[in-house]
Structure 1
Amino acid sequence: MKNIIKIAAVTASLFVAAGTVQADGKKESHSEKHAHSHSHSTEAETKIYQGYFEDGQVQERTLADWEGEWQSVFPYLQDGTLDPVFAHKAENGDKSAEEYKAYYRKGYETDVDRIEIKGDHVTFSKSGASFSGTYAGDGYEILTYEKGNRGVRFIFKKTEGDDSAPDYIQFSDHIIAPKKADHYHLYWGDDRAELLKELSNWPTYYPAALTGEQIVKEMTAH
């Protein structure tokens, strides 16, 4: 089911009308503020990355788009590796480097430091322990933010696996049709609808083979 989720600051309640959900908004969403580097070969791809697209452009995707071994960028924020990224943002943005770092600290925070995706099998690792499950596609949701731009959450539901593995995982990677991701933001939990309201914490993953310095280059390339 492809519902459109609108985040509206004018209401503090969640209500459903004519198939559209409206929820209390946040002052600042990740999709509005987040600005990783990403190579766009066309103007259309750039617009999509920024969150401007038509509903008809969105297509179902499979876990193959995120297959591989991935690492969280949160440890690199904690140890200072990403400080050049925040300094770069401060040069062109409306916050200081420290303010950007605080914003991304909340966004990147997670204790799941590694994720491996192989076929329909997803393994989460933290503190040396791991848990996993198999997941099947459960559609996507289009979110509309205060600014007017939008994002897509591609959703997968657990079909079997460890109790510790979340019932739902939701991918957001600024891509709206089948294409291999070069990084992604992952939301997980046991309540599909509640996850869609999460806009301030977006654990972010890059390929496990990259060094911290290579990730900095990816983030500051533009």
Structure 2
Amino acid sequence: MKKAIVKWSSVVVIGSLLAACQDTADEDTELEEEAATEDEEATEEEDHDHDHDHESEEKGDAEIEGFIDHYHTGDTVELTVTTEEDEGDGQWHWYVRGGDEGEWESADGGDGDTFEAEAVDHQQIKATLYDDDHEVISETEPVTVIIDDHDSDVYEGYFDDEDVEDRDISDWAGEWKSVYPYFEEGDLEEVFEHRAEESDDMSFEDYKEYYETGYATSVDNIEITEDGEFTFHDGDETYSGTYVYDGYEILEYEAGNRGVRYIFELEEGDDEAPQNIQFSDHIIAPQPSSHFHLYWGDDRDELLDEVDHWPTYYPVEWSSDQIVDDLLLH
């Protein structure tokens, strides 16, 4: 009888041990599954956070809108991203980095398809659309913020000859509009008032007459490609020409400062296309232009003598308020 009791007790103990082991195994399995789930979620989150470190193979057609060629210190960059891709339940994420070689980081100013933050010079910004699996649906090309406060000696026309460099037509590539229609509408009078307040010898009317002579033109829009093709929209007429670089000239002004004209010569084009085009934009080395004064005609040397008539062009997407703000800084 004792043997039976001992035997039965042994069975009970062994069974209890097996049950305990099974419970421990189950707990271990649950812990392993939870850990695996956490690792998977962490991996997905990490993948999401770091997808911006590489370029997606198919970026789609996402575009950033609201970006302008240059900003001033203290300006706010306000952007919107658009795409024709099916966004579904995707989420937009904005990233910034300090120049071409920096690491992409999540941007504080991003909120869905909009971005708003203070301008930082040479900062790049892009937006990426992710789906629920953190796969890239679409991504924009980066845009680079340029701050230009127009307060340098070069802008004022004080520089050394050795600082002047050749420039490529790509510095002026884009779609441009004349400021003269804004003059005619009266949108620039704040600028003339500001000039008169700071001047000891010119009145509001003096400045208005001065700028009317300078800005006057019938060419309201100009398109320039990186291949050197210019298209002029002159009233109801449109004519084009392809131009090649013909060097630069440094000009001495009566006021004691100087300027640089970058010159392009007609290679081929319509009969109406001028033989020579000269840019002046207060820049003396390779750099994209934010606005420029343009001189055109058939006589190169005669154009170099022209200092009273300088039709002025800004990016076509700029508003009148942006143009006025820029002119007030000159």
Q: Secondary structure at the match of 1:209?
A: coil
Alignment correspondent of 1:31: none
Q: TM-score, normalised by structure 2?
A: 0.54
In the alignment, structure 1 residue 97 sits paired with structure 2 residue 204: yes
- The answer for the alignment partner of 2:137 in structure 1 is none
Of the three residues 176, 180, 199, the one matched with 1:70 is 176
Would you identify which runs of 4 or more consecutive aligned residues in structure 1 move more than 4 Å? Answer: none
Distance in 2 (alpha carbons) for counterparts of 1:135 and 1:162:
12
* Matched pairs, number: 181
Partners of 1:57 and 1:133 in 2: how far apart?
31
Q: Deviations over 1:114-142 (max 9, x none)?
A: 00001210111021321010000000000
1:39 and 2:146 correspond: no
Whole-angstrom CA distance in 2 between matches of 1:177 and 1:213:
28
Instruction: Measure, in 2, the Cα distance between the counterparts of 1:127 and 1:108.
Output: 16
What SS does structure 2 have at the residue aligned with 1:181? coil
Q: Does residue 318 of structure 2 align to residue 210 of structure 1?
A: yes
How far has the Cα of 1:221 moved from its partner? 3.9
Deviation for aligned residue 1:176 = 0.4
Residue 217 of structure 2: aligned partner = 110
Q: Does 1:57 align with 2:163?
A: yes
Report the TM-score when normalising by structure 1: 0.79
Q: CA deviation at 1:89?
A: 0.8
- Cα deviation, 1:137-162, whole Å, max 9, x if unaligned, reads 00000000112210000000010010
Matched residues in 1 for 2:191 and 2:311: separation? 17
Matched, 1:147 2:255: yes
Counterpart amino acid of 1:77? F
Residue by residue over 1:5-54, the C-alpha shift from the partner in whole angstroms, topping out at 9 and shown as x without a partner, is xxxxxxxxxxxxxxxxxxxxxxxxxxxxxxxxx514xxxx7101111111
Gaps of 5+ in 1: 1-37
Identity across the alignment (%): 55
Q: 1:169 aligns with which of 271, 277, 295?
A: 277
SS of alignment partner, residue 113 of structure 1: strand
User: Which structure 2 residue ranges, 5 or more long, are not aligned?
Assistant: 1-147
State the alpha-carbon separation in 2 of the partners of residues 159 and 82 from structure 1: 37
SS of the residue 2:232 aligns to: strand
Q: Larger RCO: Structure 1 or Structure 2 (Cα < 8 Å, ≥ 6 residues apart)?
A: 1
Structure showing greater radius of gyration is 2
What is the Cα deviation at residue 97 of structure 1? 1.2
RMSD: 1.2
The equivalent residue for 2:291 is 183
2:59 alignment counterpart: none
Aligned twin of 1:18: none
Partner of 1:80: 186
Deviation by residue 1:146-192 (Cα, 9 ceiling, x = unmatched)? 12210000000010010100000000000000000100000000010
1:64 match: secondary structure: helix
Picking from 235, 239, 251, the partner of 1:131 is 239
